[in-house]
Amino acid sequence: MSASDKNRRREFLAASATVATVATGLAGVGLVALAPGVQLIQPAAAHDHGASSKVRWGLLVDTTRCASGCKACVSACNAENAIEPGSGRPAQNSQWIRKIELVEQSSGRAVSLPMMCQHCEQPPCVDVCPTGASFRRADGIVLVDRHICIGCRYCMMACPYKARSFVHEPLTRQNPEVPRGKGCVEACTFCVQRIDAGKQPACVEACKQAGHDAMLFGDLKDPASEIAKRIASTATSQVRADLRLGTGVRYQGI
Amino acid sequence: MKRLRCLPIAMLSLVASLAFAEVPKPVIAIENPGECVAAPDVMRRTHMDMLKHQRDKTLRFGEHGAKEGKSVSLRGCIECHASKKTGSVLGSSENFCQGCHSFVAVKLDCFECHQPRTGLVKSAGVMP
């Protein structure tokens, strides 16, 4: 069964559930009667607060404003999430965000951009995860549940953006808000601890403070938000759009 | 002869005293006396279930627990129960989590990833 078929089936179930609810008037809190004894849990209704599917967090990177050589976003990420180099094996260091310099061979035009987890709508890391540790929150943030991650690193191979890292060494200096530990895979969380507190991701704040203002964070589903307006009015692109992953991170000027 | 007759009794009492010798109970200083999120006997029996329930709600649904102004989270436990001497729930058998867990010989996995200490260095964003 293809993904679209599956979605259609889900939509049908949801629609018939609504009909059933209206017909019987038996809507419980977060539970909808599909048929006698069969109920459908509605995630949006079951959780009045917390992550909501009415929101889709996204990030727009304006590469025309991103300065070559500036690593403010990278250092802010490392400081916020307490990412530190390990003991002498640089290739094994965790990396949630990195700066990339692109040069077009024929014209010599250079572009600098930050690359991190693209928070896909159809994340390959979630598809391949054998334990269900990789998951996508209702508001579109792709996370790793370290409680059930077994460190198989299949998601690292599935990710086309090389966004994930594996923690090779024991850690003791974690940010209390950002638990991290040896044996688990990790990646950019959009600073979920800050989003839940109503703040912006650390990289976005740092970019603004550095005077570049190349990163715009917001709700893609809210047509009144700055990011939705910019995406609606200017040409932006997804990296590897051919994979049709529906990335939450978009780039302008590449 | 009298001594010989007494020997089995002496040995029996020695064995009995060994069998019933109790491991000393952990001495835990409750640094912030007052009400926890539930009664002590409930907490002792069900804190692990509560933590597991809350971890899934927090991580998967972004719901950060709160009850009557108290943070119902592992972070909340640590903030209240960390030793004032070491600023941690681990370190010695006098520390809140480690004390009981070493007494009952139950492995404590939380702090493989979670920060057991209080006192975040705000400027650095990390623990000292």
* Residue A174 contacts B where some CB pair is shorter than 8 Å: yes
Q: Which of A103, A111, A102, A113 is nearest to A73 (CA)?
A: A113
Domain boundaries, position B70: 26-112
User: Looking at residues B9-24, what average pLDDT do you find?
Assistant: 62
Nearest to B120 among A146, A175, A196 (CB): A175
- CB < 8 Å to B114, chain A: 174, 176, 179
Give me the pLDDT at residue A170, please: 95
| Intervals of CATH 3.30.70.20 along chain A | 57-252
Task: Decide if B60 and A145 are in contact by the 8 Å CB cutoff.
Answer: yes
Q: Which amino acid is at A154?
A: Y
ipTM attached to this prediction: 0.76
In-domain check, residue B128: no
- A57-252 CATH: 3.30.70.20
CB proximity list for A52: less than 8 A, separation 6 or greater: A44, A138, A139
Number of domains, chain B: 1
- Quickly state the pLDDT bin for B8 (edges 50, 70, 90): low
Give me the pLDDT at residue B13, please: 57
CA A115 vs. chain centroid, Å, equals 12
Task: Decide if B127 and A80 are in contact by the 8 Å CB cutoff.
Answer: no
Give me the pLDDT at residue A199, please: 94
Give me the pLDDT at residue B79, please: 86
Asked if A34 and A20 touch (Cβ cutoff 8 Å), the reply is: yes
State which residues of chain A have pLDDT below 70. Answer: 1-48
In-domain check, residue B117: no
Question: In degrees rounded to 5, what are phi and psi of residue A143?
Answer: -130, 170
Question: In degrees rounded to 5, what are phi and psi of residue B24?
Answer: -60, 140
Give me the pLDDT at residue A5, please: 55
In-domain check, residue B11: no
